[in-house]
Amino acid sequence: MKDLFWLDTGTGRPVVLLHGGFLDHGMWDDQIPALATRYRVIAPDARGHGRSANAAQPYRLTDDLAALLRHLGTGPSVLVGISMGASIAVDTALEHPELVSAVVVGGAGTAEPYFTDPWTTRHLATWHAAMAAGDLDGSVEGFMAFAAGPHRTLDDLDPEVVHRLERMARATMSKHAAGEPNLLVPVHDTWERIAKIDVPVLAVHGAIDSPDHIGMAQRLADTVSDGRALSIDGTAHYPNMERPDSYNQIIEEFLHTFS
């Protein structure tokens, strides 16, 4: 595990915080100390993100997480993820169910996205074009559009949240070069299999996130045997950063239901 970075703090039931794409464990800075008073909190940087090494061979993010949890001897853990982190959590519940006791998602369902909303598809195309061209500033700008969501601009967000997101995104994107091979191996047939997930699932929506992102998490919650969904008003793709007190309370209450 020497090529991966993670934080491991607190004691008790293991709660694993999985960050969004192009970010790192720092997106959970408002959750780690709050949860660590009662739980063992593990917050890794995914491969190619933050302080973890870039990939040198084909890999799956769910397998990286499973290897880390086995290395740490956590047993079944609560996986809490937003965006890419949510997809890792769901994929792990499918691929390594013995390691998962519950799942919290936001802004995604599985690692197989389903985008139909014109706002999402337009911004993804612009963002991907900038990344393909090696345009770091354009890539960061494209990424940040999703932080604001389709109903706001970045000027409507807390400047400190904007600064944190931009800093993390720029640091991770600068680790990669235009044209480098994509060694990430996808997990297949996930939407066809999600009904098999039999642990509690909570979807926490940013109420003004894009319809696609809300829809994927809601579809997951509606399909599994024990799923529910809540929204946090006035937040988009990163409700944990925009309204941490509300997000933390929701997570604490969810954890309390089966502790």
Could you report the per-residue pLDDT of 129-148, keeping only the tens digit for each?
Answer: 888 888 999 999 999 999 99
- Residue 249 corresponds to which amino acid? Q
Asked if residues 210 and 145 have their Cβ atoms less than 8 Å apart, the reply is: no
- Give domain 5-115+181-256's CATH number out of 3.30.420.10, 3.40.50.1820, 3.90.226.30, 3.40.50.1370: 3.40.50.1820
> What pLDDT does 259 receive?
63
Cα-based angle 77, 83, 88 (whole degrees, multiple of 5): 40
Handedness of CA 161, 256, 78, 217 (dihedral sign): negative
pLDDT in tens, 160-206: 999 999 999 999 999 998 888 999 999 999 999 999 999 999 999 99
The CA-atom distances, in angstroms, between 45 and each of 49, 74, 110, 145, 204 are 6, 17, 19, 22, 21
Q: What is the mean pLDDT of residues 220-224?
A: 98
Contacts (Cβ under 8 Å, ≥6 apart) of 138: 129, 130
Average pLDDT over residues 227-246: 98
Mean pLDDT on 51-70: 97
Q: Over 80: is that where the pLDDT of 67 sits?
A: yes
Q: Residue 117 has what pLDDT?
A: 86
Question: What's the chain's average pLDDT?
Answer: 95
Closest-CA residue to 16 (of 103, 128, 121): 103
Count of C-beta atoms within a 10 Å radius of residue 68: 18
In three-state secondary structure terms, 52 is coil
pTM over 0.75: yes
What does the domain layout of the chain look like in residue ranges?
Answer: 5-115+181-256, 118-173
pLDDT at 125: 87
| Residue pair 42/72 in contact by the 8 Å Cβ criterion | yes
What pLDDT score does 133 carry? 87
